[in-house]
Amino acid sequence: MRSYLERCCKIVDAALDQYLPKATDRPATIHHAMRYSLFAGGKRLRPVLCLAAAEACGGEETAALPAAAAVECLHTYTLIHDDLPCMDDDDLRRGKPTCHVEFGEGIAVLTGDALLTIAFEILAKTPPSSRYGVADYVIELATASGSRHLIGGQVVDLEGEGLDVVISPAQLRYLHESKTAALLACSLRLGAMSAGASAEQVESLTTYGQAMGLAFQIIDDILDVTQTSEKLGKSAGKDEAAAKSTYPALFGLEESRQEADRLTKKAHMALEPLGDRALRLHQIADFLLVREY
């Protein structure tokens, strides 16, 4: 599994290097900051899922590559903005100083804006498939990253910090479905769409992405409690320090692990209609469940 992930990361990184302006292009500060944040490391989970979904639907990796690169640009923008002093106020991301620590808060805001914008520029280079065109791709990513999903989840997260009353399990699920699972499911859907997938195939991958995305976030919550900053590449213990509502805070570590396991099994079941071509997606779900960072 690790060799597959490493191969995908190299392919995505090479594409990102081609799509992004060179660090020396004027104004050099913003382009250096974009590359600093984008190439700081990370699991590249979203683009890997995009490529694996295309494979599961009989598509070509090259056709899905622009969409894969686009979702990574958009994801990195969310990390830059999440880390800002007005948001989570963090100084470590992917094992390096965060963008606003390295370049200043103003440049960090603009770096996030630039990555969000270039994500759609790159996405528009995804070739039309037998069932979907550029407008379909753009609507897909815009919907997942907008106020009803990703941004909406961040709003709920901010509003829930430091409250004396812990939010309900339903509210917590909504938060994570919006802030985390929506973009993961979108990555899968874009990969499937680039392959001309049927509506049934897209629906199977959506169910997989939603279940796996929730499991991913639960494991993230657990790791924030149980791992060190050095291991995670970001500040450990931030959720508890900010009095954030998390699965461990609501249910404890053991019950949270059981829920992540249940959701991973649900993700596996969703892939059954795709048969053997979904092998990589099965492996990714298992890998994410037992990860340590």
DSSP the chain: -HHHHHHHHHHHHHHHHHHSPPTTSSSHHHHHHHHHHHTS----HHHHHHHHHHHHTT--HHHHHHHHHHHHHHHHHHHHHHTSTTTT--SEETTEE-HHHHH-HHHHHHHHHHHHHHHHHHHTTSPP-SS--HHHHHHHHHHHHSTTTHHHHHHHHHHTTT-SSPPPHHHHHHHHIIIIIHHHHHHHHHHHHHTT--HHHHHHHHHHHHHHHHHHHHHHHHHHHHS-HHHHTS-TTHHHHTT---HHHHH-HHHHHHHHHHHHHHHHHHTGGGGGGGHHHHHHHHHHHS---
Contact 68, 15 (CB under 8 A): yes
Residue 231 has pLDDT above 70, yes or no: no
Q: Which of 269, 270, 261, 266 is nearest to 288 (CA)?
A: 261
Average pLDDT over residues 98-127: 98
| CA distances (Å), origin 125, targets 44, 64, 70, 91, 113 | 20, 10, 10, 34, 20
Contacts of 283 (CB under 8 A, 6+ apart): 1, 4
pLDDT-based confidence at 160, cuts 50/70/90?
Answer: confident
- The greatest distance separating any two alpha carbons of the chain, rounded to the nearest whole angstrom, comes to 52
Cα 124–Cα 212–Cα 184 angle in degrees, nearest 5: 15
Domain tally, the chain: 1
φ, ψ at 74 (rounded to 5°): -65, -40
Contact 213, 289 (CB under 8 A): no
Of residues 98 and 230, more confidently modeled: 98
pLDDT-based confidence at 235, cuts 50/70/90?
Answer: low
Residue 245 has pLDDT above 60, yes or no: yes
Count the neighbouring beta carbons within 10 Å of the beta carbon of residue 241: 10
Residue 236 has pLDDT above 60, yes or no: no
43-56 pLDDT, tens digit each: 999 999 999 999 99
In this structure, what CATH number is given to the domain that contains residue 155?
A: 1.10.600.10
φ, ψ at 64 (rounded to 5°): -85, -10
Full domain range(s) for residue 275: 2-289
pLDDT-based confidence at 159, cuts 50/70/90?
Answer: confident
Distance CA 141, CA 132 (A): 13
pLDDT-based confidence at 266, cuts 50/70/90?
Answer: very high
Average pLDDT over residues 167-172: 88
φ, ψ at 92 (rounded to 5°): -140, 130
